[in-house]
Structure 1
Amino acid sequence: MRQVESLFATVDGALATDTAASRAAARDALRTASLRRRLRGYDVRAVDAAINQRVAALAL
């Protein structure tokens, strides 16, 4: 769960600063993320949906 939270914190921080470099770094982080599945972790579909929302926000 920490892995997902850390990734989203990075992306959300980039969205808050709105600089091209931070957005590019966040897009790269999302593209290269390899999240481990864990028992009692987040719902995979919910995480996938949240990733897709952040990718769309970064594309603006």
Structure 2
Amino acid sequence: MKLSIVVPVYNEKNTIEKILGEIKAVESLDKEIIVVDDASTDGTTDILKRLEKEHPDVRFFY
């Protein structure tokens, strides 16, 4: 069974990379990671666009 982890974010430019790294570090789970941005205004979207290229296994919606 696959676990779906949905990460809603809003103005999390200072924490999103750490959050994503901690979730990905749990290797014992068969998981999919979905990050959903709620129209951040602090640059979070730019970080998500970069992370999308680095982590093709994570689904991003912004």
Give TM-score, length-normalised by structure 1. 0.43
Give TM-score, length-normalised by structure 2. 0.42
Higher strand share: 2
Higher helix share: 1
